[in-house]
Amino acid sequence: MARQEGTTMKALIEQGLRRLISERKRGQQFHLRKATFKGQGLQAHLAGASWEQVRELSYEGRGG
C-alpha cells in the first residue's frame, strides 16, 4: 500500500495512528479540572484594582 501511494511505511503507520487517535477523541468532552486556592477570595482593597495592580502585589517581594 505504501508503494502504491508513493509514501513510506513509517508515514502510512503515522497517518493510521493519527486517524485512530482522532476518532477516539471525537466523542470525548473536555473537562477543566478544579483549580482553586484556599483563602477568602479577593481582598476588599483590591475590589476595583486593575490586573496590573493585582499582579504587582502578588509578586511583591518575590523578585518579579
Distances (CA, A) of 23 to 30, 46, 52: 15, 47, 43
Q: What is the pLDDT of residue 22?
A: 85
Q: What is the pLDDT of residue 64?
A: 56
The stretch 50-62 carries a mean pLDDT of 88
Three-class SS of the chain: CHHHHCCCHHHHHHHHHHHHHHHHHHCCCCCCCCCCCCCCCCCHHHCCCCHHHHHHHHHCCCCC
Tell me the pTM. Answer: 0.40
**pLDDT tens digit string along 7-52?**
999 999 999 999 988 888 777 777 788 887 788 778 888 889 999 9
Q: What is the pLDDT of residue 9?
A: 95
